[in-house]
Amino acid sequence: MEYVILMKDDFGGFISRLAKLQKLAAPVSKGYNNFSFQEVSSGDEVALKYIPTIIPPKKFFMPRQETLLEFNTAKGLEVKPVVEHEKITLFGVHTCDLAGIQCINMVFSIRPRDYNYLIRKRKIDIIGLECNEYCDEYASCCLVSSHLPSGGYDLFLTDLGDYFIAHVNTQVGEDIVESIKYFKSAEASNLEELKSLRERKRALFKNEVPIEPRLIPEMFDRAFESGVWKDLEERCLACGNCTNVCPTCYCFDIIDETDMDLKTGRRYRNWDSCQLEPFAKVAGGESFRKERSARQRHRYYRKFRYPVSKFARFFCTGCGRCSRACMAKINLKETLNSLLNDRYASKPFINDEI
């Protein structure tokens, strides 16, 4: 069973049954073209057409605040590890966010492994949903090849008019299809329709920044001293919105907190942001990325240069959230274009393959 179909008339029943199997979260409209992944129990609550949610689904994999251990020093030091998790299905995850989850999976799977993350990840089932067209002008998913599905889901739905075609990718996906009962096997004509949709998408989704993706790391190699970072310094408010909403930003701060009895307490972690001034402060009060230009540069290099060396992939999924959320209107596509055209980079970049 590789492809199955679900009639649109059965969508409400599908969601209701899915929600009965275990907790279900899906994109929900919050008004003013804002969306959020939230618990749902019926199909009416689900926004099938949505632009990327304010916070990406990473919040289910690494909560904004998470207790790691509890301690008690009353009789020597007693330490109890804490792993908070629950079984949940995420419905409607777009391909850019599937790519984001794949990125943080890689980060937390390398040694030293992060078991809090990995145990929680095992409890989360993922049902993807294809974007048939661009969300809005901020997206740059084609540049980083995240506009088409490339794994990272249990089941993946594509809207083909009166029905969805679903790719069954894992045993979990097969179990969902079997227990929900609304699905039928796909026929050759359904697969033809899927093929035509993908062809239309290939024509519609065009590289959003005029550079061959494989040349991006080289562009960054030449851009360390670029004046573009100074320009961003003058505009950036150092609020940290761009990193909080980014599906691949995973930095956290660890805090030990003691209760009033001065014996018991807990260690927890909070999301942190490289855009905040204290992030790079070390003992003695020195900060090695004091200027906002250095912090902005670091953010971009963490998306387009460093992970290419470490993980052989970009850590930008082209979701556009950082640009949508920036009060200073710092726009990722514009920054990439500025770097491409920067004549003051340490070595001029010749993008002669376009």
Q: For the sheet with 264-271, list strands across it.
A: 78-81, 65-72, 264-271, 252-258
* 320 is an interface residue for ligand SF4 by CB under 6 A: yes
Query: By C-beta, is 180 or 245 nearer to ligand SF4?
Result: 245
Per CB under 6 A, the segment of 39-47, 172-180, 313-321, 337-345 that binds ligand SF4 is: 313-321
Residue 290 CA from chain centroid, whole number: 27
Q: Which of 327, 334, 344, 346 binds ligand SF4 (CB under 6 A)?
A: 327
* 321 is an interface residue for ligand SF4 by CB under 6 A: yes
* 135 is an interface residue for ligand SF4 by CB under 6 A: no
* 19 is an interface residue for ligand SF4 by CB under 6 A: no
DSSP code for 344: T
Token digits of residue 283: 């003992």
Q: Smallest gap, in angstroms, from Cβ of residue 168 to ligand SF4? A: 27
Burial class (CB in 10 A: 0-12, 13-18, 19+), 141: buried
* 54 is an interface residue for ligand SF4 by CB under 6 A: no
Q: Which of 53, 95, 190, 317 binds ligand SF4 (CB under 6 A)?
A: 317
- Rounded Cα distance, 72 and 75, in Å: 8
Could you tell me which residues come within 8 angstroms of residue 287 by beta carbon, excluding any fewer than 6 positions away? 277, 278, 280, 281
Return the residues of window 241-280 that contact ligand SF4 according to CB under 6 A.
Answer: 241-242, 245-248, 275
Per CB under 6 A, the segment of 3-11, 76-84, 197-205, 316-324 that binds ligand SF4 is: 316-324
Tell me if 50 sits within 8 A of 29, measured CB to CB: yes
Per CB under 6 A, the segment of 59-67, 119-127, 230-238, 259-267 that binds ligand SF4 is: 230-238
Q: Smallest gap, in angstroms, from Cβ of residue 193 to ligand SF4? A: 30
Q: Smallest gap, in angstroms, from Cβ of residue 314 to ligand SF4? A: 8
* 82 is an interface residue for ligand SF4 by CB under 6 A: no
Q: How many residues bind ligand SF4 (CB under 6 A)?
A: 26
Could you tell me which residues come within 8 angstroms of residue 193 by beta carbon, excluding any fewer than 6 positions away? 160, 161, 165
Q: Which of 236, 274, 336, 340 binds ligand SF4 (CB under 6 A)?
A: 236
Query: By C-beta, is 46 or 246 nearer to ligand SF4?
Result: 246
Q: Smallest gap, in angstroms, from Cβ of residue 302 to ligand SF4? A: 9
Q: Which of 303, 305, 335, 349 binds ligand SF4 (CB under 6 A)?
A: 303
What are the distances in angstroms from CA 157 to CA 48, 49, 95, 133, 241?
Answer: 11, 13, 11, 14, 30
Q: Smallest gap, in angstroms, from Cβ of residue 166 to ligand SF4? A: 26
Beta-strand pair 88-93/23-31: parallel
- Rounded Cα distance, 114 and 137, in Å: 36
Q: Smallest gap, in angstroms, from Cβ of residue 317 to ligand SF4? A: 4
Could you tell me which residues come within 8 angstroms of residue 302 by beta carbon, excluding any fewer than 6 positions away? 249, 274, 315
Token digits of residue 320: 């556009």
Per CB under 6 A, the segment of 62-70, 125-133, 250-258, 318-326 that binds ligand SF4 is: 318-326
* 318 is an interface residue for ligand SF4 by CB under 6 A: yes
Using DSSP's 3-state secondary structure scheme, residue 321 falls into helix
- Rounded Cα distance, 345 and 343, in Å: 6
Which chain residues interact with ligand SF4 by CB under 6 A?
236-242, 245-248, 275, 303, 316-322, 325-328, 330, 332
